[in-house]
Amino acid sequence: MTRKQKRLAVITGGMGFIAAAVLLVMFAFSQSVAYFYMPADLVKTPVAPETRIRLGGLVGEGSVVRGAGSTVEFAVTDSSTNAVKVQYTGILPDLFREGQGVVTEGMFSAGTNVFVADTVLAKHDETYMPKDVADRLKQQGLWKEGQGQESPGKENKAQEAKATQ
């Protein structure tokens, strides 16, 4: 082999290796992707059963029904009138409650319109602020009423501390 042929063989081999690596990475990503849907999106474009997705929205008012053991059924809604019935078996996050934002991950069971979730993530309110931080901002004159909510647990502790003094 001449020098030019050796160089061409090394470049071709390197390009083949890089192409194989890119294909493997793309295959791995395609297997782990879970698309995010809102209930209104599911009305427009139905998802095939056994397809893993993320379903997000608000927990419907009056929709939480606790079943046997740790099974819970609730509805996920959005700003429209669309709702998706969700079934989850497990321990729910502490922030989970009606009217609160939630993201569930799972799939629709075959033959039904029930979304079976294996993961439930509750969103917290963006306006939350701990009491001590709010108090410091009030002292500095930077606090405006209605900017955030104080933690009820810390408020009770502060009242107890004032009572013992």
Label residue 45 left, alpha or beta by phi (over 0 means left) and psi (-120 to 50 means alpha). Answer: beta
Q: Are strands 115-122 and 83-89 parallel, antiparallel or unpaired?
A: parallel
The tokens of 124 are what? Answer: 């917290």
Dist. CA 8–CA 2, nearest whole Å: 10
**Annotation-wise, does 37 bind a ligand?**
no
3-state secondary structure of 122: strand
Q: Is 6 exposed, middle or buried, given 0-12, 13-18 or 19+ CB atoms closer than 10 A?
A: exposed
Q: Is 128 annotated as a binding residue?
A: yes
Q: How many CA atoms lie within 13 A of 148 on its CB side?
A: 18
Residues annotated within the binding site for heme are 124, 128
Residues annotated within the binding site are 124, 128
